[in-house]
Amino acid sequence: MTTKQRAYLKSLAMTMDPIFQIGKSSITPGLTQAISEALEARELIKISVLQNCTDDPGELAQMIAERTKSQVVQVIGKKIVLYKEGKAEKKKIILPSLSTRTSSDKSR
């Protein structure tokens, strides 16, 4: 994922509300499955880590990303944003392409 694509996903996530909360029981298999299903349906989700969870949000984000085969877009405080590219027929988010250079860039 490029910096431009990550910035685009961050801008989309700014207006989103968290759809999952991680509490003192941390990550359970049921929560992992629910997050995976949400990623399939939405592609981009936000997760809130509650105060009573003693785990580090950055470590939780990496663990969830590995288990759901998704990518961590950002971790700010106790908020995690994850992205998983959808299948071609169900794709909702179109990321900026890798070759979007302006004419001024090409002349250099």
- In this prediction, residue 99 carries a pLDDT of 54
- In this prediction, residue 96 carries a pLDDT of 77
Q: How far is CA 61 from CA 56, 68, 88, 96, 101, in A?
A: 9, 10, 25, 24, 32
pTM of the model: 0.82
- In this prediction, residue 88 carries a pLDDT of 67
- In this prediction, residue 95 carries a pLDDT of 77
Read off the DSSP letter of residue 43: S
- Rounded to 5°, the CA angle 20-70-73 comes to 75
- In this prediction, residue 108 carries a pLDDT of 41
pLDDT tens across the length of the chain (108 residues): 888 989 999 999 999 999 999 999 889 999 999 999 999 999 999 999 999 999 999 999 999 999 999 999 999 999 999 999 877 666 777 777 765 444 444 444
